[in-house]
């Protein structure tokens, strides 16, 4: 082969290789295999598993606040959201190009009809108190159809449906604030979030039932899923961690709770539900390293669910549900969780090494939240003098050799360091969570913490 032909051959090969690499998928899917155990107890060896993290008296104070906030929609007569706040999604879908489940652009007619059906003109005019009879999805507008942004952009497309607001545990106290024009959907407010729920999933409750529930003792699942059965062993519904039920009685093997089911009519049907004692606890569950570790094990490897998509959890939903058995209330969204208490340490302007030291120095496992805009994590101890975090995340930012941004999909709840991309040791360069961390927040008053390393 002549020299010029060889040069041409290699030139064509290199050009083909360039296009092959640059056009390859920017999304990388694989089951993550971290070089450290997915076992929360492994990072708590310097702590006494049975020691209380906070005093029982202080935990009871937090629990009283939890109940007050859980029942807020039943106890407040005034609207807590303006029309603009309640209907934020209407302005959003009018200003952005959205795509449906078929990856095709939504038509203007679909957008307009959806906004008309939401009927903002009658918001709050005829409110009433109720409860959901299944684990519900709170939608930002009255539709099951998604509103995705550009599928070709990393961090957009599936699973980021901008009309998916949150999942709502079964039997959550609600205030109904509006009904869609087609009467198929109800706009509800809860201590989790606000959103639209299919009308058949919501029932009214008698005033006496409301009063009894407010002044009850409660149990909550610490395993999942939990099958709630009737006295004959027939299935009533499924409950997840984060659900709360009034306790009626107990047997050697089961808790007997008040369960609200759909009756097919306006008011719900009150039934006795049976939950295995091994699957639920009386609130508040004592906050110990042992109990926190057991709860972490229950969440580990559960699928990521943006806004509660497919009734799964995203980062902030998992953190909120994590604290429910302990009777500690958290808001639903990550930025609000990071601002929960004034006991915060600003980390934004620190270098990476100083951030690690500050997190280890100020953090208490399972009492400290680590926040970067858009993502919330729970401090879980140390590994080789590095902070370990417990979090549920979709993916890690990646950048190809040619500068193309992508994602390495994790898609589940995991225990990691603050540099999980580096720990995965794959061929693609990964962004670190460390650089964007802005704050560490204590969930409780620092003076109330009883344990130390």
Q: Residue 23 above 80 pLDDT?
A: no
Whether residues 412 and 291 fall in one domain = yes
Mean pLDDT of 232-240: 98
Whether residues 301 and 409 fall in one domain = yes
The reply to whether 352 falls in a domain is yes
For 110-125, give the DSSP string: HHHHHHHHH-GGGTTT
Domain boundary among 237, 262, 282: 282
* Strand 27-29 relative to strand 405-416, pairing: parallel
Whether residues 269 and 292 fall in one domain = no
CATH number of residue 272's parent domain: 2.30.30
The reply to whether 108 falls in a domain is yes
The reply to whether 18 falls in a domain is no
Q: Residue 20 above 80 pLDDT?
A: no
The reply to whether 252 falls in a domain is yes
Q: 393-416 pLDDT, tens per residue?
A: 999 988 766 667 788 899 999 999
pLDDT score of 361: 94
Q: How far is CA 418 from CA 159, 199, 298, 374, 379, in A?
A: 23, 43, 22, 15, 10
pLDDT score of 211: 85
Whether residues 228 and 256 fall in one domain = yes
Whether residues 37 and 165 fall in one domain = no
Q: 324-349 pLDDT, tens per residue?
A: 999 999 999 999 999 999 999 999 99
The reply to whether 161 falls in a domain is yes
Whether residues 41 and 144 fall in one domain = no
CA separation for the pair 412, 300 (Å, rounded): 8
CATH number of residue 92's parent domain: 2.30.30.40
Q: 151-206 pLDDT, tens per residue?
A: 998 889 999 999 999 999 999 999 999 999 999 999 999 999 999 999 999 999 98
Q: Residue 295 above 90 pLDDT?
A: yes
Q: How many CB atoms lie within 10 A of CB 336?
A: 13
Domain boundary among 262, 282, 302: 282
Q: Residue 2 above 60 pLDDT?
A: no
- Determine if the peptide bond prior to 159 is cis (ω within 30°): yes
Domain boundary among 282, 303, 325: 282
Q: Residue 6 above 60 pLDDT?
A: no
Say which range, 15-24, 292-301, 304-313, 362-371, has the weakest mean pLDDT: 15-24
Determine the Cα angle at 200 with ends 197 and 201, to 5°: 55
CATH number of residue 421's parent domain: 3.90.1720.10
Whether residues 297 and 273 fall in one domain = no
**Structure token digits, residue 55:** 């005093």
Q: 71-89 pLDDT, tens per residue?
A: 999 998 889 999 999 999 9
Whether residues 297 and 343 fall in one domain = yes
pLDDT score of 11: 52
Q: For residue 361, what are the domain limits?
A: 28-54+287-448
What's the mean per-residue pLDDT of the chain?
92
Q: How far is CA 40 from CA 2, 415, 440, in A?
A: 64, 8, 20
pLDDT score of 238: 97
- Helices 315-323, 289-299: axis angle to 10 degrees equals 140
Determine the Cα angle at 139 with ends 129 and 410, to 5°: 130
pLDDT score of 51: 87
Higher pLDDT, 271 or 453: 271
Q: Residue 60 above 60 pLDDT?
A: yes
pLDDT score of 264: 87
The reply to whether 47 falls in a domain is yes
Whether residues 278 and 292 fall in one domain = no
- Identify the sign of the CA torsion 49, 413, 244, 233: negative
Whether residues 294 and 411 fall in one domain = yes
CA separation for the pair 321, 343 (Å, rounded): 21
The domain tally of the chain equals: 3
The pLDDT confidence band at residue 452, using thresholds 50, 70 and 90, is low
Whether residues 156 and 232 fall in one domain = no
The pLDDT confidence band at residue 363, using thresholds 50, 70 and 90, is very high
The reply to whether 419 falls in a domain is yes
The reply to whether 453 falls in a domain is no
Query: Burial letters for 433-453: b for 16+ Cβ neighbours within 10 Å, e otherwise?
Result: bbebbbbbbbbbeeebbebee
pLDDT score of 167: 97
pLDDT score of 417: 96
pLDDT score of 123: 97
Mean pLDDT of 299-309: 97
Whether residues 355 and 402 fall in one domain = yes
């Amino acid at each position: 082969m002549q020299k010029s032909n060889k040069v041409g051959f290699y030139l064509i090969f290199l050009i083909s290789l360039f296009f092959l690499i640059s056009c390859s998928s920017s999304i990388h899917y694989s089951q993550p295999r971290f070089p450290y155990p997915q076992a929360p107890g492994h990072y708590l060896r310097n702590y006494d598993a049975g020691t209380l993290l906070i005093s029982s008296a202080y935990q009871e104070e937090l629990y009283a606040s939890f109940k007050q906030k859980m029942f807020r929609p039943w106890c407040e007569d005034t609207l807590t959201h303006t029309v603009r706040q309640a209907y934020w999604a209407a302005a959003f879908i009018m200003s952005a190009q959205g795509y449906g489940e078929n990856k095709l652009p939504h038509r203007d007619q679909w957008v307009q009809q959806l906004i008309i059906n939401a009927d903002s003109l009658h918001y709050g005019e005829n409110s009433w108190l109720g409860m959901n009879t299944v684990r519900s999805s709170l939608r930002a507008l009255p539709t099951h159809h998604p509103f995705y942004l550009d599928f070709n952009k990393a961090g957009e497309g599936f699973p980021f449906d901008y009309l998916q607001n949150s999942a709502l545990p079964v039997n959550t106290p609600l205030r109904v604030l509006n009904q869609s024009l087609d009467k198929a959907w109800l706009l509800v407010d809860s201590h989790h979030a606000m959103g639209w729920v299919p009308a058949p999933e919501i029932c009214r409750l008698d005033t006496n039932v409301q009063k009894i529930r407010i002044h009850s003792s409660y149990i909550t699942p610490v395993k999942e899923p939990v099958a709630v059965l009737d006295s004959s062993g027939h299935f009533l519904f499924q409950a997840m961690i984060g659900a709360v039920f009034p306790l009626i009685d107990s047997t050697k093997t089961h808790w007997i709770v008040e369960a609200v089911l759909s009756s097919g009519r306006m008011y719900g049907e009150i039934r006795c539900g049976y939950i295995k004692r091994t699957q639920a606890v009386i609130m508040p569950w004592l906050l110990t390293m042992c109990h926190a570790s057991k709860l972490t094990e229950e969440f580990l490897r559960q699928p990521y669910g943006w806004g509660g998509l497919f009734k799964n959890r995203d980062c902030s939903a998992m953190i909120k549900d994590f604290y429910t058995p302990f009777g500690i209330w958290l808001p639903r969204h990550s930025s609000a969780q990071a601002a929960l208490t004034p006991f915060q340490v600003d980390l934004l302007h620190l270098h990476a090494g100083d951030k690690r030291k500050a997190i280890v120095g100020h953090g208490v496992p399972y009492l400290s939240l680590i926040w970067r805009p858009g993502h919330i994590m729970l401090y879980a101890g140390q590994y080789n003098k590095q902070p370990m975090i417990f979090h549920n995340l979709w993916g890690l930012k990646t950048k190809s050799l040619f500068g193309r941004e992508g994602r390495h999909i994790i898609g589940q709840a995991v225990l990691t360091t603050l540099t999980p991309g580096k720990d995965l040791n794959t061929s693609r360069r990964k962004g670190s969570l460390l650089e964007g961390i802005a704050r560490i927040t204590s969930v409780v008053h620092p003076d109330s913490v009883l344990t130390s390393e």
